[in-house]
Structure 1
Amino acid sequence: MYKVFIVDDEPFIIEGLYDIVDWAGMGMEIVGRAENGQEALEALTSLRADILITDISMPLMNGLDLIRAVRKLQPGMKVIILSGYDEFGYLKEGMTLGIENYLLKPINLEEFKATLSNTVEKLHMSRVEDELNAQSISILRDNIMHRWLREQIGANEFRERSELLGIQLDKPLLLAALLRPGKAAVGGEFLKAVSDALGDSRSAILFQDMEGDTVLLHGLSEYQRGKEEVDRCHERLAMQLPSFHPLRFSLGSVVETEGGAALSYTQAKKAQEYFMLFPERTVICYEEIEHRSEAGGREVTLNWEQMQKLILAKDKEGLLQRIDERFEQLRHMEGVTPEILQDFSMEWMIRFKMQVKEIRHSEEPEIYQEGFRRLRETTSIHEWIHILKEAAALTIDLLIRDVKSPVVQQVLNFIHESYAEDISLKTLGAQFNIHPVYLGQLFSKEVGDTFTEYINRYRIEKAKEQLRGTSSKVHEIARNVGYWETGYFYKQFKKYVGISPTEYKGLV
């Protein structure tokens, strides 16, 4: 709603204006009234208005003097004159003062409404333009701050740009802090909330970097007192922004403003990563984690053997408990950084995948591939643990489901190792001292596929690997995987893949 203030020394005119216009319907509200210019000026000293509707001839202060005085208080205010005097001199002076219209009493209602409508449209366009300008300046400001803290521009260029953009860094010392809300904020909601909470404070520069982090650069006059002021500032922010709890602050060290700002910012970024290890914390200072980063995890080992024993024993509960214990040990261990812990998580996932392949002689890529993706994307130690425990439980479940009779397992092992040879139920029955018909029935029951279907599918998968990874000719690959008739190989390949080997090779 745009705010309207009315001035006229005839009360019935003011009352009439209240009644003849649907102010709310036109996007306006009357916020004040006065019967002379002096009374109006006193009110407008503390009351903001967007539109002033005023008479010219009034006691104590006339309308033209009021307009001149109000222009100094609120330069953007729009003015409409209502006058009983059809004098060119008044009109001319009003025009020089930038009025929207000069309307004669008695008022032509249609002309008055049209003037109000045009004035509202101008105010709206002006407000949109102001918002766009402010947004552009904010983007420029954020960009120049980010480039300076990433050492992408020199001190002289930054000094020139900062003067133009109103960035003041006049204290000898500086401390960079990153703020992150406990819950996801929409758009610039969090940045605006922090800005409002800081108010007119000039002790810190607030901006958003290219990674979307909210950054506070605190200017300090001296080391100890300055750090105490920073702590108090952060405590106030935490109290004033309860809807974003828990607020997390990561702090760089105190540095000299000239030449040290980039270092403090980089340290704050590094400290922020450690919330992955210590999610219960709300403040992490770089000085606290510096020694861990320097230690570099030189003595940290995977201890896979213990987990492998639990997997082979199919002890799901023990394996999940071991993951919890190992993570708790690692996050408090000297030299363990978030990067090291993420690397460990990825390696555990690889080991789970390899263990299944080693025992079952088959891979489950879709199960573990999703786990790899989630491990790369998450920023929470609790989520890492959850993902690994899911993969561990699936690994045990796969192995439990895979329990087969010894003879079927022997047949599977033989197929996986000797698929290029001439293999049949007859030769396998003779090798393992079991009737071929019974072996075929047992195989189909436990594997879920007939012997012929299984070996053909396995050979075609191996052929696909060679088509992707070698330059061998199709007939050579056919022999490599156990097909001596190239035509039969083509037929089987198309059956399981949907296209010919030649077409497949052209796609990969």
Structure 2
Amino acid sequence: MRSILLVDDEPLIVEGMKSIIDWNANNMYIADTAHNGVDALAKLDGSPVDLVITDIMMPHMTGLELIREVKARNPFTKFIILSGYEEFNYVREGITLGVENYLLKPVNIDELEATIKHMQLDWEREEVRQIQMDQSWRILRNNVLQRWANETIDAKEFRERAQLLEIPMTKSSYCAAALRIVSDLDHDVNDLEFYEPKIAEQCEIIGSNQIPDGCEILCFPDQEGDIMVLFTSSGMGGEEWQYNALRSMKQWIATDTGACVWGVIGRPVQTYLGFPQSCNEVKLWLQNHLFVDSETFIVNTNSDAESGTFHEQQRELALDQFHKLLRDGESLQIDHFIDVSFNVQTEDSCLARTPFFNSAIQLMLAAKDLEKNPDYGGVFGPLSRIHTLSGLKQLVKRVIHQTHDTYHAIEKEYSPHVMVMLDFVKNHYKEELSLKTLSQKLDLHPNYLGQLFQQEEGTSFSDYVNQYRIERATHLLLYSDKKTAEVGAEVGYWDTSYFYRQFKKYAGVSPTELRAMYMKK
């Protein structure tokens, strides 16, 4: 509610103003009263109000003098002037000072209420402008913090921006942390990308509630959706306050989103120049680890650096046995094989990610090999969103069962012409392929041939060729050391940039991202 100070040297006028209208109904309340301008200034010292309603003629200090003094201290306060008689000079000076209205005594209730409604609209517009200014400031600060963490901002620009945005540069300790909101296939957080700046803003408020003197916390969302935290302090000693702050933020996010949240604290550094390195260590740790369960917890990249090393070795899979299970159509046995493949006996809360991702990709590709026209989008695209062992196992089962069901469905009967087209793609996918070329070989109109292929295969001829080429390219990228451009050329794409676009379209990830997911030991 908006606060009001009534100022008049006549007590009856003050009492009358208290009851002249229902202030509460107008979202306002009388905070205090004063009998002259000097008394009003004393009461406003340290306790500003939203509105001052003042008489213009008072002993010791006039209403206009009071307005000048208050405006110098608090420019956002609004004023209504009361007067027993109309005086043009007073009206003119009041307008110059920016008062809301000049009301004659006795006060007209309708005019007072109209003035109040006008002020309410002004306050609402000011609040919107302030929110917009705050949000613009925060968006700019988030952008600068992201670029600082990624080392993509010039040093001179950063120093200028940091001073403007109150980013600390003179502390003796800087430490990065990350809060990851887990949204595996079985943990969906709706519209989280629009929510992350608000989460970061609230985390900063919560984390800053109880911190030692000389310490600061800044929070911002990064491009991968993690909430990054900057801890700064004037001394190197004591990390307990960082754990407590991170724990409070983590618990609030978990309660607000209903998702699981993991916190990771990095290595402290002595100057702001080392903060990007601390960020990089935290992000690398998250990138290289897979979590065993969905409990929320906090880890330190230093003390837990060796966690999961026992499981770093490449996991061996009985792929021959798995191929037989796929061909035989034993769904329960396939599930059992997957469960055993990802079974881990460990008390660690996290494991090295690489061997489990490699095993998952091997199993999913083995199933995709059964398809005549495999679609890799459902294999590689979701992997970037997987953070838990259970989520990875769920993805593997989903992909394999979809492929398995398709493979054991009733086999399609292809016409001789379509069989020739499929066989031609298999043997000549490295060459330039088009319906026009094939129509000449089969002595059929290309439009008819395209419609026939679409009807029997369920996809266009060009899509089929691209998907087949991407399938061949995937195997070369995973099982050979050839450069990306060489792989593209070998499967029929001579333009490397076009190969990148097509691969991303059909596989869901770029060739570089694919190789990063599948790191051979």
- Residue of structure 1 in register with 2:126 after alignment: 126
Q: Is the alpha carbon distance of 1:174 and 1:226 closer, same or farther for their aligned partners in structure 2, counting shifts above 3 Å? A: farther
Preserved CA contact (<8 Å) 1:271 1:285: no
Contact 1:251 1:271 in 2 (8 A): no
2:188 matches 1:176: no
Q: Distance in 1 between matches of 2:449 and 2:90?
A: 98
Q: Is the 8 A contact 1:345 1:375 kept in 2?
A: no
Identity of matched residues, %: 25
Tell me the residue number matched to 2:337. Answer: 322
| Compared CA separation, residues 505 and 23, structure 1 to 2 (3 A) | same
Distance in 2 between the 1:476 and 1:164 partners? 64
**What is the letter of the counterpart of residue 352 of structure 1?**
A
Q: Does 1:349 align with 2:364?
A: yes
Task: Give the AA of the match of 2:298.
Answer: V
The alpha carbon displacement at 1:18 in A equals 6.2
Indicate the residue corresponding to 1:196 in structure 2: 205
What CA distance in whole angstroms lies between the structure 1 residues aligned with 2:231 and 2:206?
Answer: 15
2:28 match: 29
Check whether the contact 2:176–2:282 (CA below 8 A) recurs between aligned residues: yes
- Matched to 2:353, the amino acid is P
TM-fit CA distance, 1:386: 0.9
Question: Which of the residues 413, 420, 438 maps onto 1:459?
Answer: 420
Structure 1 residues 73 and 352 mapped into 2: Cα distance closer, same or farther (>3 Å)?
A: same
Q: Distance in 2 between matches of 1:330 and 1:372?
A: 27
Q: Aligned-pair distance for 1:375?
A: 3.3
Is the Cα contact below 8 Å between 2:435 and 2:449 reproduced in 1? Answer: no
- Which amino acid counterpart does residue 140 of structure 2 have in structure 1? L
Determine helix, strand or coil for the equivalent of 2:174.
strand
Report which stretch shifted further, 172-181 or 336-345: 336-345
- Verify: 1:152 aligned to 2:152, yes or no: yes
2:79 corresponds to 1:79: yes
Question: Contact 1:10–1:35 at 8 Å: present in 2 too?
Answer: no
Instruction: Tell me which moved more, 79-88 or 298-307.
Output: 298-307
Range with greater deviation from structure 2 (289-298 or 136-145): 289-298
Superimposed CA distance per residue, residues 300-334 of structure 1 (whole angstroms, 9 cap, x where no aligned partner): 4444234334434544323212322322349999x
Q: Could you tell me the TM-score, scaled by structure 2's length?
A: 0.69
User: Match of 2:201, as an amino acid?
Assistant: K
Which has the higher mean CA deviation after the structures are superposed, 9-18 or 275-284? 9-18
Distance 1:470 1:494 in 2: 22
Give the Å deviation of 1:265: 0.7
Are 1:215 and 2:176 counterparts? Answer: no
Pair 1:231-2:231 in alignment:
no
Q: Structure 1 pair 50/325, CA: closer, same or farther in 2 (3 Å)?
A: farther
Contact 1:315 1:396 in 2 (8 A): no
Residues 291 and 351 in structure 2, CA contact (< 8 A), matched pair in contact too: no
Per-residue deviation at 1:176? 0.4
For 1:419, the equivalent position in structure 2 comes to none
Tell me which amino acid in the other structure corresponds to 2:240.
Answer: E
Q: Which residue of 2 aligns with 1:100?
A: 100
CA separation of 1:22 and 1:454: change in aligned 2, threshold 3 A: farther
Which amino acid counterpart does residue 164 of structure 1 have in structure 2?
A: L
The CA deviation string for residues 239-298 of structure 1, in whole angstroms up to 9 with x for no partner, is 666623644212211122243111101112123336643443521322255457999956
Kindly indicate whether residue 166 of structure 2 is the aligned counterpart of residue 205 of structure 1: no
Q: Tell me, in whole angstroms, the C-alpha distance in 2 between the residues paired with 1:317 and 1:371.
A: 21
Q: Distance in 2 between matches of 1:488 and 1:30?
A: 85
Note the C-alpha offset of 1:233.
2.2
> Of 265, 289, 293, which residue of structure 2 is paired with 1:251?
265
The aligned runs of 1:333-348 (5 Å cut-off) are: 337-339=352-354, 341-348=356-363
Q: How many residues align?
A: 445
Aligned counterpart for 2:297 among listed residues 268, 282, 291: 282
Distance 2:404 2:434 in 1: 40
Q: Report the alpha carbon displacement of residue 79 of structure 1 after superposing the two structures with TM.
A: 1.1
* Map 1:415-454 → 2, pairs under 5 A: 449=413, 454=415
1:289-438 counterparts in 2 under 5 A?
A: 290-291=305-306, 297=312, 299-329=314-344, 337-339=352-354, 341-354=356-369, 356-357=370-371, 363=372, 365=374, 369-398=377-406
Q: Partner of 2:476 in structure 1?
A: none
In structure 2, relative to structure 1, the CA distance for the partners of 1:496 and 1:13 (3 Å cut) is same
Gaps of at least 5 residues in structure 2 are 183-188, 467-521
CA distance in 2, matches of 1:473, 1:131: 57
- Helix, strand or coil for the counterpart of 2:52? strand
Q: Find the aligned partners of 1:132 and 1:109 in 2 and give their Cα distance.
A: 35
TM-score (norm 1): 0.71
Work out the CA distance in 2 between the residues paired with 1:62 and 1:203: 47
Q: What letter is aligned with 2:149? A: L
* Counterpart Cα distance in 2 of 1:312 and 1:384: 23
Higher relative contact order (CA 8 A, sep 6+): 2
State the distance in 2 between where 1:494 and 1:250 align: 55
Supply the distance in 2 between the matched residues of 1:63 and 1:493 (Cα, whole angstroms): 88
Counterparts of 1:29 and 1:113 in 2: how far apart (Å)?
12
1:408 aligned partner: none
* Bigger Rg, which one: 1
Residues 310 and 318 in structure 1, CA contact (< 8 A), matched pair in contact too: yes
The question of whether the paired residues in 1 share the 8 Å contact of 2:4 and 2:49 is answered with: yes
Is contact 1:177–1:268 with CA below 8 Å preserved after alignment?
Answer: yes
- Residue 309 of structure 2 contacts residue 352 of structure 2 at CA under 8 Å; is this kept in 1? no
SS at 1:308's partner residue? helix
Aligned to 2:510: none
Provide the rounded CA distance (Å) in 1 between the counterparts of 2:47 and 2:254: 31
CA distance in 2, matches of 1:280, 1:12: 67
Q: Which amino acid aligns with 1:322?
A: F
